Structure 1
Amino acid sequence: MVVTSDIEKASETLRAGGLVALPTETVYGLGANAEDPAAVARIFQTKGRPPTHPLIVHIGGADQLDEWVEEASATARLLAEHFWPGPLTLVLRRGRRVPLEATGGLETVAVRVPDHPVALALLSAFGGGITAPSANRFGSVSPTTADHVRAELGDAVDFVLDGGPCGVGVESTIVDVTGETPSILRPGGVTREDLEAVLGHPVALPSTSHVRVPGQHPSHYAPRARVVLVEPERVVAEGELARQRGHQVGLLLPPAFADAPVKAHAVVTVPASTTAYARGLYGFLRDLDQQGCDLIVASLPTDEGLGLAIANRLRRAAEPRPSA
């Protein structure tokens, strides 16, 4: 349980140029003072993250947006009004307060207001912006508990705020609002349908973008085990074939096949609710790793609601890994 003294210590750590792992509603973030280039550089070093890969600046409220961006459009303000605090990140032109180290050298900045009482308390006590990508090694499974952070980063983090399990479980939706027409650069905790309901028109989901944002690296959100994606009705059979070839197989079993006879090293029957599936996804992948699986067979949910974000994460987890 987080107490006032923990918030104060975390705030002091940030002011001193340190790194703080903090809970948000999406995943745990590895936070640094957004205005301290040296502290921001430590995030990249600790994660093994390419310095051209932008970070998200977390702020304490929509009323602070103008302090961090050059200009907020009417569309940006409308989305902020409806979805902040919440799992929505807006990409806008960088304000002078944001160093280029935090944007990967770009003149755009990604900004959001997290919907977690501990994160908001820290932002209030600190009084500034906090850059906070996921608190894990670059490209691996994002952490949704404080224990995940400690297991992966250990003493590389100066202070860990334990705010319990994350409620959403996948990262924020990133929307580019630098132009006249907003587009989703990364699906996440705010659904495409929710955005379209507020805006009153369809929102594009481009396959490529000139704006670099977090989570666009081809291989990302990946467990140690290799991930193979097949059609839902093929999960059990593909898992059996892999087992016969000598793999320690883990299955993310679609709920429609929960009663199917299965031979596998480990099995997780995924929830029928995409909300529950998103909340548990990264934990499922970590658990299959911990059980010694070297191959995970899964299928993609439909792209409705949070299914779009889950499918995005699974596709990137299944991409070929960069060679060491």
Structure 2
Amino acid sequence: MKRRDIMEKIETKIIKVNEINPEEELILEGAKFIKEGKLVAFPTETVYGLGANGLNEEAVKEIFVAKGRPQDNPLILHVSSIEDIRPLVKSVSKEAEILMKKFWPGPLTLLFKKSKKVPNIITAGLDTVAIRMPNNPIALGLIKNSGMPIAAPSANTSGKPSPTSADHVIEDLYGKVHMIIDGGSTGVGLESTVLDLTEEIPMILRPGAITLEDLQSIIPNVEEDLSIIKNSNDIVPKSPGQKYRHYAPKADMLVFVGDVENMVMEIKVQAKEFISQEKTVGIMATEETKDRYGQGIIISVGSRKNMETIGHNLFNTIRLFDQKEVDIILAEGVELSYIGTAIMNRLKKASGGNIIKV
């Protein structure tokens, strides 16, 4: 397949697939597209992925064109069984075996030393490759029936909030990909945890639903990369989501961290000031605080008592503020523990590092 011009429109086929019991003939149709070197957007349990044959360099190039993605940003290979990874890597450690049996299929990506079979475009020229097995019957069926690992970053325009529904994919990539499989809303709503097992100390490069605390129960010496919390535009990314601003709304965004009472008070002060400047203000509140703001466009992202709801709703909430054309988003932060670390990592990226301690 020849690399197409970025402005060229292509016909996008949209198919609706049962998210619990996927229709075999529809999955086979999607797998045929993958085999032909075409792009297929599909649901996983985390976010929607933009898939191509992970062993076909020309097909993978199309991912970067469709998304407008920098080529120094590595991709993740998706497999349908543990055995699928062995031709793709130099070796599999005992730690990796334990983690795969515990968390796969699921939202955990592992970094291995790559074999020669993996194209350099997948790894941005690095000697490591990121691999995971998604916990979604549509994704697993697509991978299995295509007979190859599928390279799949999030199915959105690069830099925008990750897609958690087919509508989000259509908004960003219609006319740029060959097929969009509509499998309903994703469950987790945040991209997978990425864990580097290639160094002496296991290192979380991107936090997700499999948390530091989860991993420490199995490998106690695991640590988190400093880029998770700190701004890191000068690093060489070993994992998606490390270097560039991601998940960004059209509006500016400020994220407030600290005591909940202090956050509410400061957001109310800031909202009043921005409104006095005739700006449209969006407030990303929680179920516990949404009724305490008298001004602005207020959207609850979820409950502090069930942080998974915040993760599930985060990207959709950012897109809702885009639809409402706000000028500024004032967002409540969450505690840096368990899935809260992943949520704050995404808010840091979405805001370009505009974090205000109160």
Name the TM-score class by shorter chain. over 0.9
Kindly provide the CA deviation profile for residues 48-106 of structure 1, in whole angstroms up to 9, marking residues without a partner as x: 11111100000011122212111111111111111110000001111122100111111
- The aligned counterpart of 2:126 is 106
Q: Percent identity?
A: 38
Deviations 1:4-28 (A, max 9, x none): 2221111111111100001000000
- CA drift of 1:211 comes to 5.3
1:223 maps to what in 2? 249
1:266–1:288: 8 Å Cα contact kept in structure 2? no
C-alpha separation in 2, matches of 1:75 and 1:140: 34
The size of the alignment, in residue pairs, is: 320
Counterpart Cα distance in 1 of 2:224 and 2:189: 21
The 4+ residue runs of structure 1 with deviation greater than 6 A are: none
Distance 1:9 1:72, change over 3 A: same
- Where does residue 283 of structure 1 map in the other structure? 316
1:249 to 261, 264, 281: 281
Q: Show the counterpart of 2:327.
A: 294
Deviation at 1:288, TM superposition (A): 1.0
Q: Is the CA contact (8 Å cut-off) linking 1:225 and 1:293 kept in structure 2?
A: yes
Corresponding residue of 2:224: 205
Indicate conservation of the 8 Å contact 1:25/1:167, yes or no.
yes
Moved more, 298-307 or 132-141: 298-307
The equivalent position to 1:27 in structure 2, one of 47, 54, 62, is 47
1:304 is displaced (CA, Å) by: 1.5
- Distance in structure 1 (CA, Å) of the matches to 2:145 and 2:283: 44
Tell me the distance in 2 between the aligned counterparts of 1:220 and 1:210.
16
Q: Which runs of 5+ in 2 are unaligned?
A: 1-15, 18-22, 228-234, 258-262
Q: How far did 1:202 drift?
A: 4.1
Go from structure 1 to structure 2 and tell me whether the alpha carbon gap of 1:283 and 1:269 turns closer, same or farther (over 3 Å shift).
closer
Q: CA deviation at 1:152?
A: 0.8
Say whether the 8 Å CA contact 1:218–1:319 is kept in structure 2: no
In structure 1, give the amino acid aligned to 2:270. E
The structural deviation recorded for 1:256 is 3.5
Higher mean C-alpha deviation, range 229-238 or range 5-14: 229-238
Structure 2 residue aligned with 1:115, among 135, 138, 153? 135
Moved more, 103-112 or 253-262: 253-262
1:312 to 345, 353, 358: 345
Match of 2:218, SS state, is: helix
Match of 1:191 among 206, 211, 231: 211
2:81 aligned residue: 61
Q: CA deviation at 1:203?
A: 2.0
Structure 1 residues not aligned, in runs of 5+? none
Structure 1: how far apart are the matches of 2:244 and 2:150?
A: 26
Q: Deviations over 1:35-56 (max 9, x none)?
A: 0000000000111111111000
CA RMSD of aligned residues (A): 1.6
Deviation at 1:320, TM superposition (A): 6.9
2: distance between equivalents of 1:123 and 1:279?
A: 24
Once residues 265 and 168 of structure 1 are traced to their aligned partners in structure 2, the CA distance between those partners, rounded to angstroms, is 25
What secondary structure, in the 3-state scheme, does the structure 2 residue paired with 1:155 have? coil
User: Are the equivalent residues in 2 in contact too, given 1:266–1:293 (CA < 8 A)?
Assistant: no
SS in 1 for 2:282: strand
C-alpha deviation, 1:213, in angstroms: 1.0
Shift of 1:255: 3.7
Report the CA distance between 1:210 and its aligned residue: 5.8
Equivalent residues of 1:236, 1:253 under 8 A apart: no
Tell me, what secondary structure is at the counterpart of 1:156? coil
| 1:16–1:290 CA distance, 2 compared to 1 (3 A) | same
Counterpart residue type for residue 347 of structure 2: L
Equivalent residue number for residue 240 of structure 1: 272
Question: Contact conserved, 1:176 with 1:185, CA < 8 A, in 2?
Answer: yes
Aligned to 1:259: 291
Matched, 1:142 2:142: no
> SS at the partner of 1:72?
coil
**Deviation of residue 275 (structure 1)?**
0.5
1:257 to 1:265, Cα distance in 2 relative to 1, 3 A:
closer
Comparing 142-151 and 229-238, the one that deviates more: 229-238
- Matched residues in 1 for 2:82 and 2:268: separation? 47
Q: String of CA shifts for 1:230-270, please: whole Å, max 9, x gaps.
A: 23232232222222222111111134423314200343353
The AA in structure 2 aligned to 1:223 is P
